[in-house]
Amino acid sequence: MPFTDADLIARVLAREDHNAFGELVRRHQSPVRAFLARMTRGDAHLADDLAQETFLKVWKKLHTFRGNARFSTWLFGIAFNEFRDFARQRKELALEDADDLPVESAAAGDGLLRLDLTEAMKSLSSSERAAVVLCCQNGLSHAEVSQVLDCPLGTVKTNILRGKDKLRRRLAPAYKDYESAGN
């Protein structure tokens, strides 16, 4: 029977077990790196650096994990804090609304629509992007997103609605084709 996250955490805390921690990283690296890649507007190298810092922080702070939330939720919280700290230091990734960023026009076809979605995501503000990615892509509940982003539940719901509305407007032409194709 495979170890649960709780088993692995217990082994890390009791024995400083690098293998157990490696297994935790292996399990969670993909969603964390994908989330950070979204947050950094597609900069994979920067996202990986932030993800590595995230896991090193997890290693140092694992004893503070109380287990009253899912480990992945706690992990996303640390990842978001890493991104936020970095963005505060670097003005170019500041937490501003990037609504006026140019976005390439949408084109018909599923593959192109995916590319357009990636581009359209870049036009969301950091708060909207984080809320949409965590809720709609990673399946976190609104309450969990609120915990990760450390903001009120109402703000999370507003950011998700506003973010999705922006995406629909950005994707309008191709989005209609996608809908009419029965997807």
Q: Which of residues 23-62 bind other proteins (CB under 8 A)?
A: 25-26, 29-31, 33-34, 37, 48, 51-52, 55-56, 59-60
C-beta of 59 vs 86, nearer to other proteins: 59
CA distances in angstroms from 101 to 76, 87, 119, 134, listed in the order given: 26, 17, 10, 22
Q: Annotate each residue in 125-164 with x if it binds other proteins (CB under 8 A) or - if it does not, as one string.
A: -------x--xxxxxxxxxx-------------------x
Number of residues that bind other proteins (CB under 8 A): 44
Q: Which stretch binds other proteins (CB under 8 A): 13-21, 76-84, 86-94, 101-109?
A: 13-21
Q: Which pair of tokens denotes residue 103? A: 């976005």
CB of 93 to other proteins, least distance (A): 20
- What are the structure tokens assigned to 31, written together? 């969603």
Q: Which residues fall within 8 angstroms of residue 47, CB to CB, at 6 or more apart?
A: 33, 36, 37, 39, 40
| Min dist. Cβ of residue 103 to other proteins (A) | 16
Q: How far is the CB of 52 from other proteins (least distance, A)?
A: 6
Contact 85, 143 (CB under 8 A): no
106 contacts: CB under 8 Å, gap ≥ 6: 112, 113, 116, 170, 171, 172, 173, 174, 175
Residues that bind other proteins (CB under 8 A): 16, 18, 21-22, 25-26, 29-31, 33-34, 37, 48, 51-52, 55-56, 59-60, 63-64, 113-114, 117-118, 132, 135-144, 164, 167-168, 171, 175, 178-179, 183
